[in-house]
Copies of this chain bind each other. A is one copy, B any other.
Amino acid sequence: MIVAMQEKASEEQIDAVIEAMAEAGVNVHRTTGAAQTILAAVGSTANLDLSKFEVLPGVLHVHRISAPYKLAGRAFRPEGTVVEFANGAKIGGKQVAIIAGPCAIENREQIFKIAESVKGAGGQFLRGGAFKPRSSPYSFQGLGIPGLEMMYEAAQANGLATVTEVMEISQIEPMLPFTDCFQVGARNMQNFNLLRELGQVRKPVLLKRGIAATIEELLLSSEYIMSGGNYDVILCERGIRTYETATRNTMDIAAIPVVKKLSHLPIAADPSHGTGWRDMVPALAKAAVAAGADAILVEIHPNADKAASDAAQTMYLDQFEKLVGELRVIAQAVGRSL
C-alpha cells in the first residue's frame, strides 16, 4: 500500500497517517520529496481496508500495490490448475472442454437427446438448469431435483459429467448425488455465504462472472471458495453489461488472457449468454478458443425455438455439432486439442 500525501500536508497529518498504518500492522517507509511525502507499507496488506486511510486528513490518494487475493493468484500455482472429473474429463489442460445442454431441463426425452448429441460431437459435460432464476415472477421456474435426476441418468448413459446451477445453500445437499460440477451463476457471484459453503464441498465449482463484476472481483470470489479448501474452481466469462444493445451482453474476450496472466485457474467462455443470439454464438465461441479459453459452454436444444427459456440464444443440435467441428480446427491452430 502506498499513501501519497497532499502537497500541503502538515507534519502532524503525516505523523497521524504513519501511526494509523503502524496500528494496522504494517511497516512504514517514508519518502520526503520537495513537494510531496509518500508513505509505503511494504508488509502484507491484503486484509487492509484502503479507504480507511484515504479519508485521513492530508491524504491525497492510496494505492494498492499487491493483489487483494492470494490463493487465486498465479504465483500460488504457477503451473496452472487442471480440474479433473469423475468421467475422466479435465478442464485446464491441453484439451479444450465442451460443456453443453439446455437452459432448463424439460423432460426425459429432451435431456437424453441432448446428451447423445453432446457425446456424439465429442463433448464431455452435460449442463442443464433445474432451478431457474428468472427476472419475471411469471416465467417457468424449473423442474427441481427430479429434473436433475433425469439429467444425471442421461449423462451417465453417455459418459458425461453433469454441470448444474446451485442457487442457495439449502440446495447443495440434495443436488450432491446428481452433480459433478456446481455452477454459480452470474447473479450469485458475490453471494458470499453460498461461496463459503461451496468451499466445503469436494466437487468442482464453475464460477460465472457477474454481469457488472471486474475480473479482480471474480478472482476475489473464487478466493472465497478456495479459502474453504476447495481448489477446483473454473472461472467463466459470460458477457458483461454495457451500453451496447445489439447483443444481450458484451463478451469480454480479453478476460481470458487477463485471467491466464493473473491466476492459475482455468477459464471457460459462455457465448450463449455472452451474445444472447444463436447466430452470434459460433463467432464468439471460435474467438474464445482462439484467445485461449479452456472450455466452451453453449446452450443447445433439439427444438430450440420452443425451449422453455432462453430460446433465442439456444442452438439446434445440428448447429452445435457443426460448431464443435469448427472449434476443433481452431483449437489445433492454437496448439490444443478438442
Chain A residues engaging chain B, CB cutoff 8 angstroms: 2, 4, 7, 27, 29, 31, 33-36, 38, 40, 42-43, 46-47, 49, 51-52, 54-56, 60-61, 63, 65-66, 68-69, 75, 133-139, 167-170, 187-188, 190-194, 196, 210-212, 214-217, 220-221, 223-224, 227, 240-247, 250-258, 261-262, 274-280, 283-284, 286-292, 304-307, 309-313, 326, 329-330, 332-334
Contact = CB atoms under 8 A, between A and B. Distances in A.
A191 to B, nearest CB: 7
Contact of A2 (B38, B211, B241, B309): B38
Contact of A38 (B40, B167, B223): B40
Number of identical protomers:
4
- Residue in A169, A242, A254 whose Cβ sees the most chain B Cβ within 10 Å: A254
Contacts of A56: 305
Contacts of A255: 244, 246
A46 B63 CA distance: 18
A190 B191 CA distance: 11
Contact of A33 (B42, B55, B136): B42
Given A286-B290, A310-B51, A247 B258 contact: yes
A50 to B, nearest CB: 9
- Residue in A4, A196, A216, A332 whose Cβ sees the most chain B Cβ within 10 Å: A4
Q: Chain A binding site: helix, strand, loop or mixed by DSSP?
A: mixed
A290 B55 contact: no
8 contacts: A36-B66, A49-B309, A55-B305, A137-B192, A137-B223, A168-B193, A286-B334, A289-B290
Given A168-B169, A284-B291, A243 B246 contact: no
Contacts of A169: 168, 170
Contacts of A278: 55
Contact of A287 (B54, B290, B304, B310): B290
B276 A256 contact: no
A135 B217 CA distance: 7
Contact of A279 (B133, B261, B291): B261
Q: Which 9 A-B pairs have the closest CB atoms?
A: A33-B42, A212-B212, A51-B312, A290-B290, A287-B287, A4-B65, A257-B283, A286-B290, A287-B291
Contacts of A309: 49
B36 A42 contact: yes
- Residue in A2, A136, A252, A330 whose Cβ sees the most chain B Cβ within 10 Å: A136
- Residue in A2, A135, A279 whose Cβ sees the most chain B Cβ within 10 Å: A135
A215 B136 contact: no
Given A192-B133, A287-B288, A42 B47 contact: no
A72 to B, nearest CB: 11
B35 A253 contact: no
A302 to B, nearest CB: 15
Nearest to A196: B137
Contact of A35 (B31, B42, B288, B330): B42
A254 B55 contact: no
